[in-house]
Every structure is written in C-alpha cells, then in structure tokens.
Amino acid sequence: MTSSAIYPCQTAHAACTLAHLGCGGDPRLAVTFQHLLATQFDGGGWRCNKFSYGRGPESEFANPGPTLIALDAFRFTDRANSSPELDRAVEFLLRHWVTRVPLGPCHYGIGTLFLQVEYPFAGYNLFYWLHVLSHYDRVASDPRFEVRDCFRTKSPHR
C-alpha cells in the first residue's frame, strides 16, 4: 500500500475545482497532481485514511468517490489518456462498476440512489460517473461498462 494523505478526497476536490476554473495546466497545480499520483493506493484509486465507520475488510480498498473526483481533475491535464496511473484508476472504477460493493473507509458504493437521475452533476451518481469516465478512451470499449454506447462518437442519425 502506498501511504496517502488523510483526506485525498479534499485534495482531489480542490484540484478538480481549480481545473474546472481553467488552471488544469498551471504549473502550480502540477505539484498537486504529482502529489495525487504519489499517494495513489495500490488498487488504483485513492483512499482516505480516516476510518469514521471503523475498520473491516471493505476498508482495505480505495474509495470510488475520491477516485472519480481525482479522475475528473486529471481530465484537464495532458495525462488523461497517456498515464498508466490513471489507467489503473479507471480500471479500479470499472471493477467497482461490476461489484458495486461499498468500499474504503468512507464506504462509497453504487447503490439504488446512485442509479437515479439527478441534476446537477454534483454528487456521486450515474451522470457524474458517465461524464467523467467519458473523457477516458479506455472506457469507451470496455464491456464491463453497461452504458458504453453513450460514448460513441458517431450517431447513426448523422
């Protein structure tokens, strides 16, 4: 296991906000992105080191929520489709798509509320998941991702 900050989710949220504001390529933010890569959990995602719900077998994994937010931030960089570390993070989320089991110390999972349509893309839900992962090329052809047809670049009606 790679050691990580106690709250990588906060680091990922801050980086994501700055990236959305147009700072994704700013050299000052590059330090934060490097920190996120250096603290990536062995399973491919990011994991908080705060155990609010206690420790159990599920808490030995990374959290899908912070991983999704980190990938959202990284999509504004030139690493989005050229980094093996980010490929590992996408793989982690694709494995989670299949299991849907609450993971990590924060117990993020894909439950019944996750699949409900919700606006805006502000929460850990299906729309945000689709939006972020659609920026990563390897997701488009992965058979584990049931909604992969949303990523087709050409519509049959064009």
Over residues 63-78, the pLDDT tens digits come to: 888 899 999 999 999 9
Which helix (H) or strand (E) segment holds residue 29: the answer is helix 27-38
Closest CA to 69 of 105, 108, 23, 116: 108
Q: For the segment 107-150, what is each residue's pLDDT rounded down to a tens digit?
A: 777 777 777 776 766 677 788 888 899 899 988 788 877 664 54
Domain ranges of the chain: 8-111
18-61 confidence digits (pLDDT tens)? 999 999 999 999 999 999 999 998 889 998 777 777 777 777 78
pLDDT greater than 80 at residue 95: yes
Q: Rounded to two decimals, what is the model's pTM?
A: 0.83
